[in-house]
Amino acid sequence: MPLKFELCPGRMIGGNHPCFIIAEIGQNHQGDIEIAKKMIKMDCGADCAKFQKSELENKFSKRALERPYTSKHSWGKMYGEHKRHLEFSHEQYRELQKYAKEVGIFFTASGMDEMAVEFLHDLNVPFFKVGSGDTNNFPYLEKTAKKGFYYKKKSAFIAIIQHTHGNVKDLNKSSPQPKRFQHHQQHQFDCCSGLTSYGKKAKC
């Protein structure tokens, strides 16, 4: 019998249950909350809308945030200005979560650093999604795992595994919840309505 569990309140996955589809919004909203809402509301058949949340001062060094960023896709002269333009505040995240509930779609985000995971835990997202760049970041993975079933029984922990199965095996030794769902993903972004991957400006 295939593994089955409740990923979101009232939504089982695995076994004979329907595939759970996550719409990756990321930062394609370009820092505009109205664009983000339009993306949440799009009738594309998805079960969940997912964003990316960073606490920039925790994720990046001061030097990294202050370095010049002269790309044609930049939203500021320095990398920090660019990232701050794309980053929603805590209050905006609460607004988006409320809006998603009104629309009738689940809402979550990738916590791109440990402080972002803390915020998403407080926001009470139904599950955590770990980006591929953190699949061998063991301090981050252990912290995120401890925010899963042990602390929030309705939460799940999803990791994109692109390196080795050993990463998850080691993580499971320290986690109170032995079963983990491994999600293999290949990214393909389509350019639509002037938006492309990672919040870059584009002409279609």
Distance (Å, rounded) from C-alpha 150 to C-alpha 143?
Answer: 12
Q: What is the pLDDT of residue 144?
A: 87
pLDDT per position as a tens digit, 128-183:
888 888 888 888 888 888 886 433 333 455 544 334 345 555 555 555 544 344 44
Copy the structure tokens of residue 151. 């602390």
pLDDT at 41: 95
Predicted local confidence at residue 79, as pLDDT:
93
Tell me the CA end-to-end span of the chain in Å, nearest whole number.
46
**β-pair partners for 51:** 26, 109
Confidence (pLDDT) at 118? 94
Write the burial class of residue 75 (CB in 10 Å: 0-12 exposed, 13-18 middle, 19+ buried).
middle
Positions of the chain with pLDDT under 50: 1, 149-155, 159-165, 177-204
Question: Would you call 120 exposed, middle or buried from its count of C-beta atoms within 10 A (0-12, 13-18, 19+)?
Answer: buried
Residue type at position 62: K
